[in-house]
Structure 1
């Protein structure tokens, strides 16, 4: 195997872990929207999202990746909000 094949194999392994973790995360999102519904809360909590970004960026050891990581977090949170809205919409029908 050459370096490219080795790197791609490792990326595939990592992508598998990301898929597993994404599913775990979305299960927690279901709990979040259930709580928000019970407590008449809005889906978007801008303060919480800012806090998540700041806290998680501190975990990076390679600061050159920070803007990309922020983009990833923002997209995950957008997806989470969309999923929460979908769940909420189904309950309201």
Structure 2
């Protein structure tokens, strides 16, 4: 577990030492006891041995007893889905009533 926000990573290695989740980018959205981080990742396809298309994962961490642990996560699974999320957010926040 990470003791600082900057130590938090999305990368994950299996018991054989193979990198299963590769972190491509990281953006810290909020800092504090509750921290939100957005990662661009690629996951290893076990059958082909190749990394898949990039995905975006938004993780929420809570600091307890001196270290951060993941509390929740949400994955945007494709570029198409990401563009739809962006479109909706832009519409919602450009609405004069908000």
TM-score, normalised to structure 1, is: 0.29
Whichever structure has more helix as a proportion of its residues is 1
Q: Point out the structure with max Rg over C-alpha.
A: 1
TM-score, normalised to structure 2, is: 0.28
Whichever structure has more strand as a proportion of its residues is 2
- Greater RCO, CA 8 A, separation 6+: 1
